[in-house]
Amino acid sequence: MQIQVVKSKIHRVTVTGADLNYIGSITIDEALMEAANMIEGEKVSIVNINNGERLETYIIKGNRNSGDITLNGPAARKVQRGDIIIIISYGILDFEEAKTFKPAIVFPNEADNSLT
């Protein structure tokens, strides 16, 4: 049997932009992506702490150490600049493997989205 488990999480990061006219996705600072073991094009769930909105989209790589967290396209209607969000990705593992798997969880500085 296989189950879906949390693979990676960027916990409580600040939205820096919302671009309604972009085709879609979330732009994430490359350093945050690497720290959380996420890749460009990966499907992610977004949970907005400020308003309770939840959505799914995919990652676009942002500039390294920019602190960029921008929701693009229709997702831009579900956030505002300054909102705090959680970004979660999932993986599918065999049941026994899932029992010992440890996800990559990142807790960035909410003030500037840095890793320090």
Which residues are catalytic, by number?
25, 58
Distance, CA of 114 to CA of 110 (rounded, Å): 8
Q: Which helix (DSSP H) or strand (DSSP E) does residue 30 occupy? A: helix 30-35
In Å, how far are 4, 14, 57, 107, 108 from 111, measured between CA atoms? Answer: 32, 7, 24, 12, 9
Does residue 73 have a known ligand-binding role? yes
Does residue 35 have a known ligand-binding role? no
Does residue 103 have a known ligand-binding role? no
Does residue 91 have a known ligand-binding role? no
- Annotated binding residues for substrate, written as ranges, equal 57, 73-75
